[in-house]
């Protein structure tokens, strides 16, 4: 699918017929040239146009499209992404809830959380066993045993596992435990890591770099697909802003553009976007209204005692309220 095309009409007498047909196809037109006008620039109202439909209009001599810099990703446009038997992301499907702790701390806390995720109607358990931390003095995760606990708890509550891989050295072990491999914001353009993750042939959750534009983000996804990833789900987690009242700025326009206009699978992480548990519910609703297919949130049985990101973690009952607000409880 292309977003813009230039259409040349061979004979100026055909211009009125071509114009009406383009309007019938629901396209926005910009008529190029002067009185001898015989070209149009068109764009889809929803951001997408079907070039084949245009080529079939009698009188058109040429259709020039933008060069597609993400050909593998473009092929996935409009297609639902099946992550597990019970979990598919797509535009006509109910929104999906992913939840779990920021860091996996112990098997016991994960079990409490897994039960709450299932009660809330969530489909995936999240949690970091390997944690990227700004300070070298912060908690960096429990490592491989955390992956083992994630798998065991997810099996118990019939959930999928999404967890972050930080290092090229850990790609194989994370791939062995996770249903969806998370590449974090700080690694969105770590091309050596993307290459190894792609080669696993699994579905990948690609979080947006905190200062990356959409083209860079899509090219990160193209790297993963080029190297063999099965699917890529985009995760908007906020970009660097100037306000100190929230951790980041949630870019809902990027969500709407990638999801509604371009047809790609999009998740929103309002926890890392806002850094505040009181904003999770309103930002979830705004994200769903903007076309998000899934929401991923952090949760902890006792947020005040969390080893990382406590201020943004929901309590267990708040998670169930979020699941209810998203309409997940009965699905
Ligand atoms: C996370 O989801 O655990 C995380 C570290 O997020 P981000 O990469 O978006 O900062
Ligand atoms: Mn976190």
Burial of residue 176 (CB within 10 Å: 0-12, 13-18, 19+) is exposed
pLDDT in tens, 171-228: 999 999 999 999 999 999 999 999 999 999 999 999 999 999 999 999 999 999 999 9
Considering the entire predicted model, what is its pTM? 0.87
Any atom of ligand 1 within 6 Å of the Cβ of 207: yes
Cα-Cα-Cα-Cα dihedral of 20, 24, 29, 34, to 10°? 0
Average pLDDT, integer, range 93-101: 98
Q: Could you tell me the distance, in angstroms and rounded to a whole number, from the CA of residue 302 to the centre of ligand 2?
A: 15
User: Which of 21-30, 41-50, 79-88, 233-242 is the least confident region?
Assistant: 41-50
pLDDT in tens, 69-89: 899 999 999 999 999 999 999
Any atom of ligand 1 within 6 Å of the Cβ of 237: yes
Pocket test for ligand 1, best of 101, 133, 204, 272 (most atoms within 8 A of CB): 272
State the residue for tokens 């702790």: 101
Q: Could you tell me the distance, in angstroms and rounded to a whole number, from the CA of residue 20 to the centre of ligand 1?
A: 49
DSSP 71-95: HHHHHTTT--EEEETTEEE-TTS--
Cα-Cα-Cα-Cα dihedral of 324, 78, 65, 46, to 10°? -40
Provide the angle, in degrees to the nearest 10, between the axes of the packed helices 107-119 and 316-325: 30
Strand order in the sheet with 39-44: 27-32, 39-44, 4-9, 60-65
CA 114 to the chain's CA centroid: 22
From the CA of 210, the nearest ligand is 1
């Amino acid at each position: 699918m292309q977003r813009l095309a230039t259409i040349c009409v061979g004979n100026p007498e055909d211009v009125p017929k071509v114009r009406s047909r383009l309007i019938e196809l629901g396209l926005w037109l910009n008529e190029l040239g002067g009185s001898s006008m015989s070209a149009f620039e068109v764009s889809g109202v929803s951001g997408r146009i079907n070039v084949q439909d245009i080529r079939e209009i009698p009188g058109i001599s040429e259709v020039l499209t933008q060069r597609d810099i993400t050909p593998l990703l473009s092929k996935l446009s409009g297609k639902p992404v099946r992550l597990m038997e019970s979990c598919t992301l797509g535009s006509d499907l109910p929104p999906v809830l992913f939840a779990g702790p920021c860091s996996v701390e112990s098997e016991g806390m994960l079990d409490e959380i897994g039960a709450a995720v299932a009660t809330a109607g969530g489909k995936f358990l999240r949690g970091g066993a390997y944690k990227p931390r700004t300070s070298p003095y912060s908690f960096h995760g429990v490592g491989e045993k955390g992956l083992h606990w994630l798998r065991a708890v997810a099996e118990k509550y019939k959930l999928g596992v999404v967890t972050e891989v930080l290092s090229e050295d850990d790609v194989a072990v994370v791939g062995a435990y996770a249903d969806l491999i998370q590449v974090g914001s700080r690694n969105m353009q770590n091309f050596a890591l993307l290459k190894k993750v792609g080669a696993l042939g699994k579905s990948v959750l690609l979080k947006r770099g905190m200062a990356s534009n959409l083209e860079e983000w899509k090219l990160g996804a193209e790297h993963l697909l080029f190297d063999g990833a099965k699917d890529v789900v985009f995760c908007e987690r906020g970009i660097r802003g100037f306000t100190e009242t929230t951790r980041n700025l949630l870019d809902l326009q990027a969500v709407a553009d990638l999801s509604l206009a371009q047809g790609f699978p999009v998740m929103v992480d309002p926890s890392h976007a806002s850094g505040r548990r009181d904003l999770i519910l309103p930002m979830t609703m705004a994200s769903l209204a903007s076309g998000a297919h899934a929401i991923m949130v952090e949760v902890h049985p006792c947020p005040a005692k969390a080893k990382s990101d406590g201020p943004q973690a929901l309590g267990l009952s708040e998670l169930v309220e979020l699941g209810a607000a998203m309409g997940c409880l009965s699905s």
